[in-house]
Amino acid sequence: MFKIVQSLDDLIKVFIIRGIVFMDEQAVPYSIEMDKHEYSALHILGEIDGEPVAAGRLRFIKDWAKLERIAVRKDYRKRGYGHDIVEFMLSIARERGYHKFKMHAQSHLREYYGAHGFKVAGDMFKEADIDHYLMVMEDGTQNQ
């Protein structure tokens, strides 16, 4: 269901999902949603029978793998795909030798990402005019 984007067609699907979720549903402006990291990041696509349903982006910054732009289309939520894509992204990062992970999580998703072992690290901040928290996790410390 999930794969690393390898083609322009797959990348377009990722951008469509993000456009629907972030730009349409959450009113994030294009100028914020698309940034300078699009061409250097590792993009993840989730499909069901060829239909794009979920997307995410991974960036590798020094010792950290940063999970970004995680989105699931509304009609496909509450089926576990969000948790599945997070686990897929973590597995890809681990395969590449990363054991420290971070993300900017929307404030209402703290518990959601907490279920994967992420913990809030710092105060709430605004990103795209939406409340966020820095959340971090290191392998070996998830269940402490």
- pLDDT tens sequence across 74-95: 999 999 999 999 999 999 999 9
Q: Indicate if the pLDDT at residue 54 is higher than 80.
A: yes
Tens digits of residue pLDDT in 2-23: 999 999 999 999 999 999 999 9
Residue the block writes with tokens 């509450």: 78
pLDDT score of 44: 98
Report which secondary-structure segment, H or E, holds 41. Answer: none
Q: Indicate if the pLDDT at residue 129 is higher than 80.
A: yes
- Helix, strand, or coil here: 65? strand
- 44 contacts 4 by C-beta, under 8 angstroms: yes
Domains in the chain, ordered, with CATH? 2-98 (3.40.630.30)
Q: How confident is the model at residue 143 (pLDDT cuts 50, 70, 90)?
A: very low
Cα-based distances in Å from 90 to 16, 19, 133: 23, 23, 19
Report which secondary-structure segment, H or E, holds 10. Answer: helix 8-18
pLDDT score of 80: 95
